[in-house]
Amino acid sequence: MADGEVIVDSGMDFSGAIAGTAAPREVLETLCLIDIHYAGFDGRRHRGQLVIHRDLAADVGEIFALMESLKFPVAGAVPIVRYGWSDEASMAANNASAFNYRVVAGTDRLSRHATGRAVDINPRLNPAIYADGRIAPAEGLYRPGIPGTLTGGDSVVSAFLERGWRWGGHFNHVRDYHHFEK
């Protein structure tokens, strides 16, 4: 592979990226598909995609550009349609994702992902850890200091916080290290 070549992890169009979602039209009309670049764990430049609320697209694009400049590795970023709209399957693949019309796990409340107002990054390295000891994804292991792991005060978390996002690593009921919402 030639230097400078971009590995395309996702090359969908918008209709393909939302195919089969249960989201109502009024939600879909607020979304857009963005291309993002990032350093992969293979040390190469990758292009992926996220479906995100259009009001947050600039924030997310800027933060992924920062992550690439820092060589913060991302395992992949593919619209969750590729995983049959399964959050569990996407997390098990360590996939970064945004829009997914679903409820918060264990509740009947719509997630911020349901409106494209949340982003998950490297969920296997940054799992959700519940007070009772459960971990999601089950394969997750949180080890600060490992490349691709998010920690309080790091440049990636700070970039989200400076733009008014909330980080799941600061939540009280669960430490959701892969999750950002606005």
Q: What is the mean pLDDT of each run of 10 residues along the chain (182 residues)?
A: 80 98 98 98 98 99 98 98 97 98 89 97 98 94 97 97 98 95 98
pTM of the model: 0.95
Are residues 144 and 172 in contact, defined by beta-carbon separation less than 8 angstroms?
no
Within a domain: 2: no
In angstroms, the Cα distances linking 80 to 43, 92, 105, 140 are 24, 12, 16, 18
Instruction: Supply the pLDDT for residue 43.
Output: 96
Per the structure, the count of domains in the chain is 1
Within a domain: 1: no
Instruction: Supply the pLDDT for residue 106.
Output: 80
Within a domain: 141: yes
Within a domain: 160: yes
Domain that holds residue 143: 7-181
Within a domain: 47: yes
Within a domain: 82: yes
User: What residues form DSSP beta bridges with 136?
Assistant: 128
